[in-house]
Amino acid sequence: MNVISVEDLRFRYRRAERYSLKDVSFTVKRGELLGIIGPSGGGKSTLCLTLNGIIPNSIKGEFEGDVVITDPRTGEEYNTKETPVPTLSAVVGLVLQNPESQLFNMTVEEEIAFGLENLGLERNEILRRLRWALEVTGLRGLEGEFPPNLSGGQQQRLAIAAVLAMDPSIIVLDEPTSQLDPVGRREVLGLVSLLNREHGITVVLVEHHTDYILRYADRVIVMDRGEIVLQGTPEEVAEEADTLRKLGVKLPPALEVSHELRKRGVLGEAVLTPEAFLRLIGRSSD
The residues of the shown chain that bind ligand ATP, judged by CB under 6 A, are 13, 16, 20, 38, 40-46
Contacts of residue 34, Cβ cutoff 8 Å, sequence gap at least 6: 26, 28, 203, 204, 205, 217, 218, 219, 220, 221
Give 21: exposed, middle or buried? Use CB within 10 Å, 0-12, 13-18, 19+.
buried
Short-list 7, 4, 18, 29, CA closest to 62: 18
Between 40 and 124, CB nearer to ligand ATP: 40
Question: Smallest distance, Å, CB 203 to ligand ATP?
Answer: 17
Between 24 and 139, CB nearer to ligand ATP: 24
Between 91 and 228, CB nearer to ligand ATP: 228
Question: Smallest distance, Å, CB 37 to ligand ATP?
Answer: 9
Between 20 and 102, CB nearer to ligand ATP: 20
Task: Provide the 10 A C-beta neighbour count for residue 133.
Answer: 27
Question: Smallest distance, Å, CB 22 to ligand ATP?
Answer: 11
Could you give the 3-state DSSP secondary structure of residue 43?
A: coil
**What is the CA angle 95-22-12, rounded to 5?**
70
Between 38 and 168, CB nearer to ligand ATP: 38
Residue 65 host element (H or E): strand 61-70
Question: Smallest distance, Å, CB 93 to ligand ATP?
Answer: 18
Strands of the sheet with 21-29, listed across from one edge: 21-29, 2-13, 61-70, 77-79
Question: Smallest distance, Å, CB 57 to ligand ATP?
Answer: 15
Question: Smallest distance, Å, CB 38 to ligand ATP?
Answer: 6
Paired residues of 62 in beta bridges: 12
Question: Smallest distance, Å, CB 13 to ligand ATP?
Answer: 3
Between 64 and 110, CB nearer to ligand ATP: 64
Between 20 and 137, CB nearer to ligand ATP: 20
Between 11 and 277, CB nearer to ligand ATP: 11
CA atoms within 13 A on the CB side of 144: 0
Short-list 274, 271, 249, 253, CA closest to 262: 271
Question: Smallest distance, Å, CB 42 to ligand ATP?
Answer: 4
Question: What's the CA gap between 201 and 86, in Å, rounded?
Answer: 19
